[in-house]
């Protein structure tokens, strides 16, 4: 576009020059001497106008989404097999037609089609009010599970576009709600990573109870579902601010010294080196 305008301006100046040549030769000679400066001035003027327009106008032009955008009404049309079976989760639409026996009318998951029922993936509330895309108030574990569901659909089904509404605007750009949920999910993921890291250092104990014998806790290389190459010894871990404890397995050489996660105590009347302890109430 810039080159086009420069050519047009040059042609206009050249036209003026021809006019002066035919009718005012002396004036033409004068204009010829100032033509480079005039041409440069016109280019500078054009550049100033264009860049001013770019800064003030073009930067405010909304970015167009390359995704197909669905209104809620349009998405509802994809709840029957004759047109297609789509569902949305966290604002993204997927074609679940290959799972027709589950998502078609009469299938176990038909209620998910034609809408974004993100919350119901976690709550199990499949009523019209429960099949909502509002996920605020979910716990850390629930948000992690919802994120895993979203990843599952992205991996297993064909992505079709976005729903205009809570997560994306009518240009397909993320809304403030989208960013809020994303922050909550990222925070939940970090919390889970910290919990998993803690479990590796302090795996839960195995536990059993019987009416005849009472309660017993013990450690093994797989206690708490955490596989490792050490066994450890049972200890009571009091988290900061908590008045109750949970049983953890800890390496024997780590039982002494400060513990940043809380206070560690031995089980009463249990050998500190034993991998099993009876719990007396």
Structural domains of the chain sorted by starting position, each given as residue range(s) with its CATH number in brackets: 2-60 (no CATH), 68-195 (3.10.120.10), 202-279 (no CATH)
Residue stretches of the chain with pLDDT short of 50? 2-3, 5-6, 18, 20-21, 23-29, 31-32, 35, 38-39, 42-43, 45-62, 257-260
Q: How many CB atoms are located within 10 Å of the residue 202 CB?
A: 24
Burial letters 145-180, b for 16+ CB under 10 A, else e:
ebbeebeebeeebeebbbbbbbbbbeebeeeebbee
Residue 36 tokens read as: 């480079």
pLDDT at 198: 79
Q: What angle do CA 257, 259, 263 make, to 5 degrees?
A: 105
pLDDT at 36: 52
Look up the pTM and report it.
Answer: 0.60
Measured in Å, how far apart are the chain's first and last C-alpha atoms? 85
Quickly list H helices, the chain: 2-23, 25-56, 72-76, 100-103, 120-123, 140-156, 176-201
256: left (phi over 0), alpha (psi -120 to 50) or beta: beta
Order of strands across the sheet that contains 276-279: 206-210, 214-218, 276-279
pLDDT at 142: 95
| Residues 6 or more apart whose Cβ sits within 8 Å of residue 158 | 94, 95
Per-residue model confidence as pLDDT tens digits over 99-155: 999 999 999 999 999 999 999 999 999 999 999 999 999 998 899 999 999 999 999
pLDDT at 20: 45
Closest CA to 42 of 5, 15, 73, 76: 5
Kindly write down the DSSP assignment for every residue of 157-170, as one continuous string.
SEEEEEEBTTTB-T
pLDDT at 74: 97
């Amino acid at each position: 576009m810039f080159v086009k305008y420069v050519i047009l301006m040059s042609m206009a100046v050249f036209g003026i020059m021809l006019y002066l040549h035919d009718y005012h030769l002396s004036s033409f000679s004068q204009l010829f001497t100032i033509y480079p400066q005039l041409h440069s001035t016109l280019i500078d003027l054009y550049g100033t106008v264009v860049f001013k327009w770019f800064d003030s106008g073009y930067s405010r032009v909304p970015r167009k989404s390359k995704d197909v955008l669905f209104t809620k009404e349009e998405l509802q049309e994809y709840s029957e097999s004759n047109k297609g079976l789509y569902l949305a989760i966290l604002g993204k639409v997927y074609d679940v037609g290959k799972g027709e026996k589950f998502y078609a009318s009469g299938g176990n998951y038909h209620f998910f089609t034609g809408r974004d029922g993100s919350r119901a993936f976690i709550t199990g509330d499949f009523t019209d009010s429960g099949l909502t895309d509002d996920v605020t108030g979910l716990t850390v574990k629930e948000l992690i599970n919802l994120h895993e569901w979203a990843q599952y659909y992205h991996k297993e089904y064909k992505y079709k576009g976005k729903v205009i509404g809570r997560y994306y605007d009518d240009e397909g750009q993320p809304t403030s709600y989208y960013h809020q949920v994303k922050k909550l999910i990222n925070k939940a993921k970090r919390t889970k990573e910290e919990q998993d890291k803690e479990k590796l250092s302090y795996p839960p104990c195995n536990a059993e109870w019987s009416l005849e014998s009472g309660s017993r806790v013990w450690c093994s290389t797989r206690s708490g579902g955490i596989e490792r190459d050490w066994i450890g010894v049972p200890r009571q871990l009091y988290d900061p601010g908590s008045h109750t404890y949970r049983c953890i397995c800890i390496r024997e050489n780590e039982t002494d010294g400060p513990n940043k996660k809380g206070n560690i105590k031995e089980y009463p009347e249990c050998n500190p080196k034993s991998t099993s302890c009876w719990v007396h109430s």
